[in-house]
Amino acid sequence: MSLRNTTGRGLLYENVLDTVGNTPTIRINRIAPDHVSVFVKAEAFNPGGSIKDRLALNIIEAAEREGRLKPGQTVVEATSGNTGIGLAMVCAAKGYPLVVTMADSFSVERRKLMRFLGAKVVLTPRAQKGFGMYIKAKELAEANGWFLASQFETKDNADIHEATTAREILSDFDGKRLDYWVTGYGTGGTVSGVARALRAERPETKIILTEPSNAAIVSSGYVNKRNEAHQPIESHPNFEPHPIQGWTPDFIPWVLQEAIDKSYYDDLIPIPGSEGIAWSRRLAAEEGIFTGISGGSTFAVAMRLAEKAEEGTVILVMLPDTGERYLSTPLFDGIEEEMTKDEQVLSASTPSAQLISE
């Protein structure tokens, strides 16, 4: 086996924003069933660590082009974390102040990351769910004349996934079989944008959508009420708190409604968060692929499909982010800070550098 060579893999970029997109598609080698081929699209390779870097960049740049965002104007948005981190990165690079509203139920790491990138984070009560943080962002925008990013309504969200995420997938599987594409949803931008291209150019590819089993709001058939600007005016009655952070706010976003209305998915498979946690841990420990609960949950659905799939089936799974922003969540329950008993035995097996527990 020859020594690895990375010549030509790197490029020289003018700024960090030019590194958004072109994330790798990686084969799963150890934990997928032998009769299928499973690949993951690892969005953690974006500079802000998640797929939401794509929409954050396009929301800002489209608003700049169209004159909706003025130089130095404050940007405000409601987010569970990843969009806020992406916006914080974009705003830092472009010189816009950013204020994020976020329910206090989301991981502490997320708010610290946004503040580290220069944003202000306004926390809202968890009892008011995503709808509460959404209303707070609207209020702040209206009261101060700030630019509301509107990730849940803006066409700039799905458009960037049609233009980038979808094109990358089509390029990676050009001339190759692709039977299933599996994704969850937060805003719905990924499924709506990518599905436009897959339906047009790879109609044989079945699109599988997933959501938390205890917050299966799309499966319920009920669509929450919206105003004339397509903004939600109520919390979805079928929503329950769930551990899959980044998935399924307590309303059906307008961006997602496109996928529902146009039948952009072939099946909708709810999944419990516990399965997502289990598969996220397996991806890390057995494949070396580090993803969060949302990625693990999407992968869990793919594994259900894989077990029943015919020989030679090819499945692509979206992994939206990295696992590092879940350190304070149930994903890391049981992961010790101090040495375990087995590690203490290993330490004691040789004489040097003994750490004595108090």
Q: What is the DSSP letter of 215?
A: G
The candidate with the shortest Cα–Cα distance to 283, out of 271, 262, 269, 297, is 297
Q: Report the DSSP beta bridge partners of residue 271.
A: 212
No. of helices (H) and no. of strands (E), the chain: 12, 10
Q: E strands along the chain, which residues? A: 25-27, 37-42, 75-78, 98-103, 120-124, 147-148, 180-183, 206-209, 267-268, 314-319
Whether residue 212 contacts residue 270, with contact meaning beta carbons closer than 8 Å, is answered with yes
For the chain, the C-alpha Rg in angstroms (whole number) is 21
Task: Write out the catalytic residue numbers.
Answer: 52, 294
Residues with Cβ within 8 Å of 36's Cβ and at least 6 positions away in sequence, in order, are: 306, 309, 311, 312, 313, 314, 315
Q: How far is CA 86 from CA 58, 96, 129, 215, in A?
A: 11, 13, 21, 25
How far apart are alpha carbons 220 and 238 in whole angstroms? 7
Distance of alpha carbon 8 from the chain centroid: 29
The candidate with the shortest Cα–Cα distance to 250, out of 222, 272, 292, is 222
Which amino acid is residue 331, in one-letter code? L
For β-strands 206-209 and 267-268, DSSP reports them as parallel
Whether residue 258 contacts residue 276, with contact meaning beta carbons closer than 8 Å, is answered with no
